[in-house]
């Protein structure tokens, strides 16, 4: 949260509840603002409705009431704006993460993702995946960016994170092709994934993350490059990523970067 005189602080983007700024927390209401750059000082002195369109949708009206209730006990002072939530007023991403969970409790996926040997780009992807922050069709639909949430790869279901990784018919064919049966159907339970019989136990979580990374990128090619969904292409990308990743392992461990038996 921001404290101070609020004159240089963006109301919608610099004020946070837990780890979400107001623009994200109150998405429907944010779409009804006439000026998304108003300061905290303006919002509090002029009233929240002063920067909103005259007529609000029912969802926006409910969010407006909720936000006004939260602002009732908030007041400005004459000091400079500072961010709170960190040691000595220092604002860090760790502080934001800690506010998401009760004291002393961490995400069960934290160690799996951030302490595994996967490439950093894959770790970032995996963290967004388990937090449901990827731009899946369902998330884009919530933000009113697309007209429907149907999966562009299979055209048979709504594209959620779980659908994209486990229940999409295309993805199920992918797992069958490499003879792997994921033991979960919920990305939030990624830490519970067990190695399949034909997957080396060493770094098996990295194996799954690389596969999901390849699936995500193949989905990108289908949506944005007009490519036809292809199990072969998706597998080839997965094999290439695994081979590059394995080069950073000890020589005696590099065998885990190979799919065996050959699948394409």
Question: Pick the residue with more confidence: 256 or 72?
Answer: 72
**Strand ranges, E, within 121-216:** none
**Helix 231-246 with 204-225: angle, nearest 10 deg:** 130
Do residues 213 and 125 touch, judged by C-beta distance below 8 A? Answer: yes
Do residues 198 and 180 touch, judged by C-beta distance below 8 A? Answer: yes
- Give the domain ranges of the chain: 2-99, 110-257
Q: Range with the lowest mean pLDDT among 8-22, 43-57, 173-187, 203-217?
A: 8-22
Share above pLDDT 90 across residues of the chain, in percent, rounded to a whole number: 37
Question: Pick the residue with more confidence: 170 or 205?
Answer: 170
Question: Pick the residue with more confidence: 96 or 78?
Answer: 78
**Strand ranges, E, within the chain:** 2-3, 16-17, 20-21, 82-83
Question: Pick the residue with more confidence: 124 or 86?
Answer: 124
pLDDT at 79: 75
Share above pLDDT 70 across residues of the chain, in percent, rounded to a whole number: 81
pLDDT digits over 1-13, tens only?
A: 555 566 777 788 7
pLDDT at 172: 96
HSE at residue 113, side-chain half, CA atoms within 13 A, is: 23
User: What's the mean pLDDT in 243-264?
Assistant: 67
User: What's the mean pLDDT in 76-83?
Assistant: 71
Question: Pick the residue with more confidence: 109 or 44?
Answer: 109
């Amino acid at each position: 949260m921001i404290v101070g005189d609020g004159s240089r602080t963006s109301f919608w983007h610099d004020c946070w509840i837990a780890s979400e700024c107001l623009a994200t927390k109150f998405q429907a209401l944010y779409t009804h603002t006439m000026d998304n750059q108003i300061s905290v000082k303006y919002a509090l002195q002029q009233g929240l409705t002063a920067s909103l369109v005259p007529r609000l949708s029912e969802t926006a009206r409910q969010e407006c009431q909720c936000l006004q209730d939260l602002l009732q006990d908030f007041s400005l002072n004459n000091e400079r704006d500072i961010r709170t939530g960190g040691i000595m007023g220092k604002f860090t991403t760790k502080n934001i993460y800690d506010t998401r969970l009760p004291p002393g409790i961490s995400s069960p996926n934290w160690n799996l993702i951030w302490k595994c040997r996967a490439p950093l780009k894959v770790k970032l992807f995996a963290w967004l995946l388990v937090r449901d922050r990827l731009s899946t069709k369902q998330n884009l639909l919530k933000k009113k960016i697309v007209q429907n949430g149907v999966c562009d790869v299979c055209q048979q279901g709504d594209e959620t994170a779980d659908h994209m990784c486990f229940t999409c018919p295309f993805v199920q064919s992918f797992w069958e092709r490499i003879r792997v049966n994921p033991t979960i159907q919920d990305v939030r339970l990624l830490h519970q994934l067990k190695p399949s019989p034909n997957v080396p136990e060493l770094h098996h979580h990295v194996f799954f993350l690389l596969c999901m990374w390849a699936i995500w990128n193949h989905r990108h090619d289908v949506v944005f490059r007009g490519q036809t969904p292809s199990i072969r292409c998706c597998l080839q990308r997965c094999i290439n990523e695994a081979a590059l990743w394995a080069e950073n392992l000890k020589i005696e461990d590099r065998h885990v970067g190979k799919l065996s038996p050959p699948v394409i």
